[in-house]
Amino acid sequence: MKKVMKKSQSPRGSLADIRQGNEQQILDAAEHVFAERGYRGTTVAAIAEAVNLPKANVLYYFKSKEGLYKEVINRLLVLWMQHMNEMNAEQHPGDALPKYINNKIHQSRLHPNASRIFAAEVLHGAHYLREPLQNELREQYEQTCDVFRAWQEKGWLDPIDPEHMLFMLWSSTQAYADHGLQISILMKKEQLSDEDFAKGIELVTHVILKGCGVKL
């Protein structure tokens, strides 16, 4: 992993830029270690080793393992909600849903660790995730369900349950991250190819549009 830059290495950069860059590299390392070892199995020392920094330097930016884990959770929540927030009632679901599915599966491919941390946190009782689940994510969830209801009122979507529709969207797109290893093993591959992801996107899009009765 890339070494965290030192102040002497970037004399023209502002202190704020240097701090932000250091924090992002520490968070990247922490995300990898938390995904691999879980919260209980992770130590600040392991994160420091992954980012090639003394433990004291990591604790300078993030005061504890818990604080660092919460920042990782916050970052993945922003990632998780990003594409939901892009859907609105004025878009046609025939355009908005394929775009969401495409973006979400690509996101799962590019950020599998974030997805695995989220899934593991929920499976273990969502101790650190419960508050944002009850606030930011619930608010976004309700807004997205309202978008689905607006599409139904316009006759663009069958009168299906919007909440369960969103659960289905999440589960089908997250599978490529949460169960990536299982899928690769069953397909007798070291890792999934561009073609595999393209086929997955095509199938999920077809099933969702047909199953939800999207009127093109």
Alpha helices by DSSP H, listed for the chain, are: 15-41, 44-50, 55-61, 65-82, 93-110, 112-123, 130-132, 138-153, 162-178, 180-186, 194-211
**pTM, 2 dp:** 0.82
Share of the chain above pLDDT 90, in %: 62
| pLDDT tens per residue across span 163-198 | 999 999 999 998 888 888 899 999 999 989 999 999
Which pLDDT band, with edges at 50, 70 and 90, does 12 fall under?
A: low
CATH entry, 70-211, from 1.10.3720.10, 1.10.357.10, 3.20.20.70, 3.40.50.11540: 1.10.357.10
Nearest C-alpha neighbor of 87 from the set 143, 165, 154: 143
- Note whether 7-63 and 70-211 share their fold: no
Q: Which residues of 149-176 are buried (b: 16+ CB within 10 A; e: fewer)?
A: ebbbeeebbeeeebeebbebbeebbbbb
Q: What mean pLDDT comes out for the span 101-117? A: 89
Which residue ranges make up each domain of the chain?
7-63, 70-211
Q: CATH says 7-63 is which class?
A: mainly alpha
Nearest C-alpha neighbor of 73 from the set 42, 119, 141, 19: 119
